[in-house]
A = this chain, B = another copy of it.
């Protein structure tokens, strides 16, 4: 007896839950948890079920596809560790938080490698026996630099997610498209406020009383991809922007790790530049 995750993304119509639960019943599956969401405005239906039973994955998948509307996306997943690549620049906190969680066995993930444009984090990463690849951007055109990174990523057979743990360079459309819906970023502001460079400096200049962090999938518009998780903390007039930056690290790392965990547990649907999270 095993557990499976069933993800369904389809157009809404009457009877969907009935149809899905009929299939589960016929396959003699026990539903451990069930989450559904109907977006009336866009006529969309999303469902994530965790079921328990003895089943052929493909047969279950086919039975669901058969009974559901055309163009339905169905995934039946036997939970296993996903393969991730982490990209970073010089800061240690977000990367370190993931490394410790990985070491503690908290993450359903294999970290295949950490790629950075500096060698500053190599000492930390190599402690954990994880390959560290320095690909300096110096003296390279942006396209050349990204090609090298993409070659490094693509040297691995299967990469489920590319996690930007404070990778401080903007990615080009070519890169983003190559890993569509697979790149998870942490931006150090409560988006959509303070897009772009140095959000803490922007926040300081604006005199805000909260600062925050946003984890999102990356698309071709800077800091405008589907948001996965957001959190804020309070600041006051006594915070200079470097104090904000220091204090913000805690919220950055927590939010990125939370988003990564949601992705690894197959809890995120993406549509209409938004996320549905179960």
- When distances are taken between beta carbons in the complex, the residues of chain B under 8 Å from A34 are 17, 34, 36
User: Would A92 and B96 count as touching, CB distance under 8 A?
Assistant: no
User: Would B103 and A240 count as touching, CB distance under 8 A?
Assistant: no
Q: CA of A227 to CA of B239 in the docked complex: distance in angstroms?
A: 14
- Which positions 257-273 of chain A face chain B at CB distance < 8 Å? 257, 272-273
- Cβ distance A106 to chain B, nearest Cβ, rounded Å: 8
- When distances are taken between beta carbons in the complex, the residues of chain B under 8 Å from A232 are 190, 210, 212, 232
Asked if A150 is an interface residue, CB under 8 A from chain B, the answer is no
- When distances are taken between beta carbons in the complex, the residues of chain B under 8 Å from A170 are none
Judged by DSSP, the binding face of A is mixed
Q: CA of A14 to CA of B101 in the docked complex: distance in angstroms?
A: 35
**Which of A136-144, A173-181, A201-209 is the interface stretch?**
A201-209
Asked if A237 is an interface residue, CB under 8 A from chain B, the answer is yes
User: Would B208 and A230 count as touching, CB distance under 8 A?
Assistant: yes
- When distances are taken between beta carbons in the complex, the residues of chain B under 8 Å from A230 are 208-210
| A positions within 8 Å CB-CB of B | 14-18, 21-22, 24-25, 28-34, 36-41, 91-93, 96-97, 99-101, 103-104, 106, 124, 127-128, 190-194, 206-210, 212, 226-232, 236-238, 240, 246, 249-250, 254, 257, 272-277
